Amino acid sequence: MDTGKVYLDNNATTPVDPKVLEEMLPFFSERFGNAASRNHAFGWQADEAVQNAREQIAELIGARPQEIIFTSGATESNNLAIKGITKNHEGINGHIISCQTEHKAILDPLKQLENSGFEVTYLRVDPDGLIDLNELEAEITDRTILISIMYANNETGVIQPIKEIGELAHKRNVLFMTDATQAVGKIPIDVDELGIHLMSFSAHKMYGPKGVGALYVKSKIKIDAQIDGGGHERGMRSGTLNVPGIVGMGKACELCLQFMSNDETRLGILRDKLEQQLLRISGTSCNGHAEKRLSHVSNISFEGLDGEKLLLSLNEIAVSQGSACTSATVEPSHVLKGMGMSDELAFATLRFGLGRFTTEAEIDFAVEKVERAVTQLRH
């Protein structure tokens, strides 16, 4: 272990698995063809690699290869899904249901739609971070066109009741979308079994490269493109495909299918050890449902401390105060506030994200450093 670099921010991004990098490298050099070039072997080879990746990704989530649309990442996937579905409902007073603790890549597009005349209902969560299914059902009307609820929260790891939401959506004939960026590759997902119509996710959250992601679009569902220019990806997303990235994403999904069960068990043990030792510090508390959360995520508050000063004291450890996408802001976490936490305590909270390459020695090192930093700051 390099004690100068302990990485515990795997919810922000993960390192590329060496096997993923090995798979990608030839597509930067000798296999450099454009997958849309239909007239020669270079293009055929690239297209074959893309289709193979589509199959690898589809297998991981229980989908069909043709239901996978490649994008630049989950943010683009979210925008494509939300704006693409609502395009046909402009001017008819459409209604969308989402949640207060969604990622900004969902909340910001929804704000734009509100400015265009759509009505959006933001469900509350309880102190454990879970929505109330009865409240969700009560909010569905004959104008509701979409339910968008995150699969697993990026700050707390809390897993929403996705199957039950899918059943409600089916019963009321409403489309169901989920941002599953933190969940895909970490826990088993079967989109058909769960009743999901649209699902976004990114390669770089599961040991693949940055700059590539996907949107699952259930067969027969039509979404309007947000990028025009060639009609790629079944007319839903134009542009030259990032073949090396797509190949890497496919390999990352294949590896997740192989290692998911072992990773989940091992990281759960390490996460529990981390929490048990840190919660011995006075004035600490763990946020999010004790059981309905991802096994590798821990969100811990340190009462009476300035979280920014605590972070600066932990310069040998990579952790965060919340979402990587909001780390430049000085606002308290909207996720923790949505769970009923005070601004003061939200500012005194750290997120630990363990990963495939996290070791027990690194957990021991992190605990020692956090304990020392908390003691020094309190005295």
CB atoms within 10 A of CB 25: 14
Tokens representing 22 are 């090995």
Query: How far is the C-alpha of 349 from the C-alpha of 197, rounded, in Å?
Result: 34
**Residue ranges of E strands in the chain:** 6-7, 68-71, 95-99, 119-123, 144-148, 175-179, 198-202, 213-217, 284-286, 297-302, 317-318, 349-353
Nearest CA to 20 out of 56, 61, 70, 44 is that of: 56
The residues, any chain, with a CB within 8 Å of residue 51's CB and separated by 6 or more, are 65
Largest Cα span, the chain: 71
339-353 as b/e, with b when 16 or more CB fall inside 10 Å?
Answer: bebeeebbbbbbbbb
- Catalytic residue flag (residue 99): no
How far is CA 135 from its chain centroid?
A: 24
162-182 as b/e, with b when 16 or more CB fall inside 10 Å?
Answer: beebbebbeeeebbbbbbbbb
Query: How far is the C-alpha of 202 from the C-alpha of 29, rounded, in Å?
Result: 24
Tokens representing 342 are 């005070």
Q: Which of 99, 253, 286, 325 is catalytic?
A: 325
- Amino acid of residue 28: F
Sequence-ordered alpha helix ranges (H) in 235-359: 243-278, 307-313, 334-338, 343-347
Instruction: Give me the active site residues, please.
Output: 325
